[in-house]
Amino acid sequence: MTYKEQNALMTDMDFQGRIKVAVLKYSTSILDEPSTTVAHNTRLKWANNAAQNPQQMAQTLQPNVVMDANVQTAGANITDELLQSSVEATVNKLM
Protein backbone atom coordinates (compact mmCIF):
# COMPACT_ATOMS: atom_id res chain seq x y z
CA MET A 1 0.00 0.00 0.00
CA THR A 2 1.15 3.50 -0.70
CA TYR A 3 1.33 6.07 2.07
CA LYS A 4 -1.70 7.76 0.56
CA GLU A 5 -3.68 4.50 0.63
CA GLN A 6 -2.57 3.80 4.19
CA ASN A 7 -3.57 7.28 5.31
CA ALA A 8 -6.99 6.92 3.70
CA LEU A 9 -7.55 3.56 5.41
CA MET A 10 -6.43 4.98 8.77
CA THR A 11 -9.38 7.40 8.65
CA ASP A 12 -11.92 5.24 6.81
CA MET A 13 -15.07 4.99 8.93
CA ASP A 14 -16.28 1.71 7.38
CA PHE A 15 -12.92 0.12 8.17
CA GLN A 16 -13.10 1.56 11.69
CA GLY A 17 -16.51 -0.08 12.09
CA ARG A 18 -15.04 -3.44 11.14
CA ILE A 19 -12.24 -2.92 13.66
CA LYS A 20 -14.86 -2.12 16.30
CA VAL A 21 -16.59 -5.46 15.68
CA ALA A 22 -13.24 -7.26 15.95
CA VAL A 23 -12.46 -5.38 19.19
CA LEU A 24 -15.77 -6.45 20.71
CA LYS A 25 -15.26 -10.05 19.63
CA TYR A 26 -11.76 -10.11 21.12
CA SER A 27 -12.84 -8.41 24.35
CA THR A 28 -15.58 -11.02 24.79
CA SER A 29 -13.09 -13.85 24.38
CA ILE A 30 -10.78 -12.27 26.95
CA LEU A 31 -13.63 -11.73 29.41
CA ASP A 32 -14.48 -15.43 29.05
CA GLU A 33 -10.92 -16.74 29.50
CA PRO A 34 -9.77 -18.45 32.70
CA SER A 35 -8.25 -16.25 35.39
CA THR A 36 -5.10 -18.37 35.18
CA THR A 37 -4.31 -17.04 31.69
CA VAL A 38 -0.95 -15.28 31.52
CA ALA A 39 -1.31 -11.52 32.10
CA HIS A 40 -5.01 -11.99 32.76
CA ASN A 41 -5.41 -8.84 34.86
CA THR A 42 -3.89 -6.65 32.16
CA ARG A 43 -5.95 -8.35 29.48
CA LEU A 44 -9.10 -8.10 31.59
CA LYS A 45 -8.58 -4.37 32.10
CA TRP A 46 -8.18 -3.86 28.35
CA ALA A 47 -11.24 -6.02 27.60
CA ASN A 48 -13.41 -4.07 30.04
CA ASN A 49 -12.28 -0.76 28.54
CA ALA A 50 -12.93 -2.06 25.04
CA ALA A 51 -16.39 -3.37 25.95
CA GLN A 52 -17.36 -0.06 27.55
CA ASN A 53 -16.16 2.12 24.67
CA PRO A 54 -15.57 0.06 21.52
CA GLN A 55 -15.76 3.06 19.18
CA GLN A 56 -12.94 4.88 20.97
CA MET A 57 -10.88 1.70 21.12
CA ALA A 58 -11.35 1.10 17.39
CA GLN A 59 -10.36 4.68 16.62
CA THR A 60 -7.26 4.37 18.79
CA LEU A 61 -6.20 1.05 17.24
CA GLN A 62 -6.97 1.87 13.61
CA PRO A 63 -3.58 3.33 12.58
CA ASN A 64 -1.68 0.41 14.10
CA VAL A 65 -4.05 -2.14 12.58
CA VAL A 66 -3.48 -0.58 9.15
CA MET A 67 0.26 -1.12 9.63
CA ASP A 68 -0.25 -4.87 10.28
CA ALA A 69 1.17 -7.08 7.52
CA ASN A 70 -2.22 -8.67 6.72
CA VAL A 71 -3.80 -5.27 6.14
CA GLN A 72 -0.78 -4.04 4.21
CA THR A 73 -1.23 -6.97 1.84
CA ALA A 74 -5.03 -6.90 1.42
CA GLY A 75 -5.94 -3.30 2.17
CA ALA A 76 -9.60 -2.53 2.74
CA ASN A 77 -10.53 -5.83 1.07
CA ILE A 78 -9.10 -7.87 3.95
CA THR A 79 -11.34 -10.72 5.04
CA ASP A 80 -13.04 -10.53 8.41
CA GLU A 81 -10.97 -13.48 9.65
CA LEU A 82 -7.67 -11.85 8.74
CA LEU A 83 -8.81 -8.51 10.13
CA GLN A 84 -9.68 -10.23 13.42
CA SER A 85 -6.19 -11.68 13.49
CA SER A 86 -4.67 -8.27 12.75
CA VAL A 87 -6.67 -6.57 15.50
CA GLU A 88 -5.73 -9.25 18.04
CA ALA A 89 -2.05 -9.07 17.07
CA THR A 90 -2.12 -5.29 17.37
CA VAL A 91 -3.77 -5.40 20.79
CA ASN A 92 -1.35 -8.06 22.02
CA LYS A 93 1.62 -5.89 20.98
CA LEU A 94 0.24 -2.97 22.95
CA MET A 95 -0.45 -4.91 26.16
Number of structural domains, the chain?
Answer: 1
| C-alpha span between 67 and 77 (Å, rounded) | 15
CB neighbour class for 78 (10 Å; exposed up to 12, middle 13-18, buried from 19): buried
Q: What is the pLDDT of residues 54-80, one digit of tens each?
A: 999 999 999 999 999 999 999 999 999
CA distance 75 to 87: 14
Question: Is the torsion defined by CA of 9, 12, 14, 16 positive or negative?
Answer: positive
Q: Which domain holds residue 75?
A: 3-94
DSSP string, 18-34: HHHHHHHHHHHHHHTS-
Predicted TM-score (pTM) of the model is 0.94
pLDDT single digits (tens) 11-57: 999 999 999 999 999 999 999 999 999 999 999 999 999 999 999 99
